[in-house]
Amino acid sequence: MKIIYLLSILLILPLNLVYSQQQQQLSLLLPQLNKLGVKITSPVSGQQVSVGVLTIFGISTDNSTTDCQVFADWNNLKPMQKVMPTGPGGENDYSSWTFTYTNKYHLITQGVNELTAKLSCVTGPFNSTKYYSINVQGISTASIHAIDK
């Protein structure tokens, strides 16, 4: 009986130690996961924009040392498109970014267009994502000129 008890202790203690270490790692990563974010800064939601080509600008919590990427889409059209990082840290710094909707993916159409940005990060053993969407109103150039008059 003592042998079984000793064996169970020898097996359970390492498992508890591994579990405890995983809990510590998770508690260290949770604040990082909660700080992730992405935002489309221009245009703003509800803004009227010309149909056709549109460039959007945005920001995120990424920097040159984190393992993140930003993507954009139009009305949930897949696949999402990789945006161009414009942060001061170079080609892997998505702290600021831009994306242009063209006929290579999708142009802005007349009416409501939902534009979504997605921040995707590898944080330790986890993949984390955050989304931010806006609706813009596509109007024809003729409508814009009529409004200006």
Poorest-pLDDT segment among 91-95, 137-141, 143-147: 143-147
* Position 55 confidence tier, pLDDT thresholds 50, 70, 90: very high
Summarize the confidence of residues 60-72 as an average pLDDT: 94
pLDDT for 31 beyond 50: no
Summarize the confidence of residues 27-46 as an average pLDDT: 76
pLDDT for 19 beyond 90: no
Please classify residue 106 by burial: count the beta carbons closer than 10 Å to its beta carbon, then call 0-12 exposed, 13-18 middle and 19+ buried.
middle
pLDDT for 143 beyond 80: no
pLDDT value at position 7?
47
pLDDT for 25 beyond 80: no
pLDDT value at position 64?
87
| C-alpha span between 149 and 130 (Å, rounded) | 41
How many other β-carbons are positioned within 10 Å of the β-carbon of residue 144? 13
Enumerate residues 6+ apart whose C-beta is below 8 A from 61: 35, 36, 37, 38, 68, 95, 119
- Could you give the 3-state DSSP secondary structure of residue 31? helix
CB 38 within 8 A of CB 132: yes
* Position 10 confidence tier, pLDDT thresholds 50, 70, 90: very low
pLDDT value at position 6?
46
| C-alpha span between 99 and 74 (Å, rounded) | 11
With a threshold of 0.85, does the pTM exceed it? no
